[in-house]
Amino acid sequence: MSRIPVAILGPTGYTGLELIELILSHPTLSVGWLGSARENPPSIVAEFPRLAGRLAGMAPTMCAAIDHDAIAASCRLAFLCLPHEAAMHHAPALLARGVKVVDLSAAYRLKDPAVYAKAYGHAHTDGANLRHAVYGLPELAREQIRGASLVANPGCYPTAAALALVPLLRAGLIRPESIIVNAASGASGAGREAKPHLTMVEAGDNYSAYGIGNHRHQPEIEQTLRISGGAAGSRVLFVPHLLPIARGILETIYAEPITAATATSDVQAVFKSAYASEPFVVVRDEAPTLRDVQRTNMVHLNARVVGGRVILVAAEDNLTKGASGQAIQNANLMLGLPETAGLLAG
């Protein structure tokens, strides 16, 4: 079977590298275009020597300038691993040429452009495509994703929070105004660009909260709980932390049950029923750890009731289920391939 070439714009970042790695073990996709905005597009092997000797027939070794016509001539789908504003520049040009787009940035995640502008500090410039973009959480919107030309790949923190909370809101088990999401991410969540607070001296052997009460993912989590959880009054207190490790997200989530009689078995039963046939969600009897999910596309969930509170623990890898793995899951659906293709190999 001939492979389907796809483009990666922004291949020199962490989500770009992760996509290349995933496509190398994908049964049907290959990389047709590595698009860089640098004046002299680099060799991807020079950027990431771990790719040396592994690309033959599966990806070019050199990045190329981003040429929308040439990409459309060779690729059916493009992954945008770019800053939000750059994604808003390239997505319309690719969509107009018939290329399907999976955007890993936040450019098309928030439905209301005013909420986007407030969270991201710049105006939304592509309202036309924002209106038809599908929020790409397959466990909640599989059929819409299959028919979409533009998928907004969810944020890393919102993916774990939504998968933990939506089934419980739908089942009417927790109070939507009572939710606290206490989350921690490895440093790759902030991207590859050098930042002083991410150096080993600052972040290593350390642990810190950031973005308390004003993190950009808070409105995204609330939007999903409203739209998919059906909880109009959802309010989330979201506190992210920086973990001194490379990759992984662990979220401990607290909520008040609607009835005092709610037991651990009730909450776990809702999880088990919601995710019985989901290939990438595992419901655990014990709280998961990051090691259980690193370098996999899985989300591990556990729920219990302690002292009258529902406590949920969700773990995922920010670069796979939180970004590039989920992007492949979405692309598989958009291209009519098996949803798990290329994602279950160990």
Ligand X SMILES: NC(=O)c1ccc[n+]([C@@H]2O[C@H](COP(=O)([O-])OP(=O)(O)OC[C@H]3O[C@@H](n4cnc5c(N)ncnc54)[C@H](OP(=O)(O)O)[C@@H]3O)[C@@H](O)[C@H]2O)c1
State yes or no: residue 93 binds ligand X (CB under 6 A): no
State yes or no: residue 156 binds ligand X (CB under 6 A): yes
Count residues near ligand X (CB under 6 A).
Answer: 28
- Catalytic (active site) residue 81: no
Cα 144 to Cα 262: distance, rounded to the nearest angstrom: 33
State yes or no: residue 325 binds ligand X (CB under 6 A): no
Q: Which residue among 86, 93, 337, 341 contacts ligand X (CB under 6 A)?
A: 86
String marking each residue 34-63 x if it binds ligand X according to CB under 6 A: --xxx-------------------------
State yes or no: residue 321 binds ligand X (CB under 6 A): no
Q: Please say whether the beta carbons of 243 and 185 come within 8 A.
A: yes
Cα 192 to Cα 182: distance, rounded to the nearest angstrom: 24
10 Å CB burial of residue 335 (0-12, 13-18, 19+) is middle
Q: Which residue among 5, 10, 229, 342 contacts ligand X (CB under 6 A)?
A: 10
Ordered strands of the 29-36 beta sheet: 64-65, 29-36, 4-9, 77-80, 100-103, 150-152, 134-135
Cα 320 to Cα 96: distance, rounded to the nearest angstrom: 28
Q: Which residue among 5, 136, 155, 229 contacts ligand X (CB under 6 A)?
A: 155
Which single residue brings its beta carbon nearest to ligand X? 13
Tokens of 262: 């709610």
Q: Closest CB to ligand X among 243 and 305?
A: 243
Tokens of 222: 């609330």
State yes or no: residue 192 binds ligand X (CB under 6 A): yes
Minimum Å gap between C-beta 177 and ligand X is 27
Cα 115 to Cα 122: distance, rounded to the nearest angstrom: 10
Minimum Å gap between C-beta 146 and ligand X is 22
Q: Closest CB to ligand X among 37 and 227?
A: 37
Q: Which residue among 19, 101, 104, 148 contacts ligand X (CB under 6 A)?
A: 104
The upper half-sphere exposure of residue 148, i.e. CA atoms within 13 Å in the direction of its Cβ, equals 28
State yes or no: residue 176 binds ligand X (CB under 6 A): no
**DSSP letters along 277-316, please?**
T-TTEEE-SS---GGGTTTSS-EEEEEEEETTEEEEEEEE
State yes or no: residue 330 binds ligand X (CB under 6 A): no
Minimum Å gap between C-beta 80 and ligand X is 8
Binding stretches for ligand X (CB under 6 A): 10-16, 36-38, 81-84, 86, 104-105, 155-156, 188-189, 191-193, 318-319, 322-323
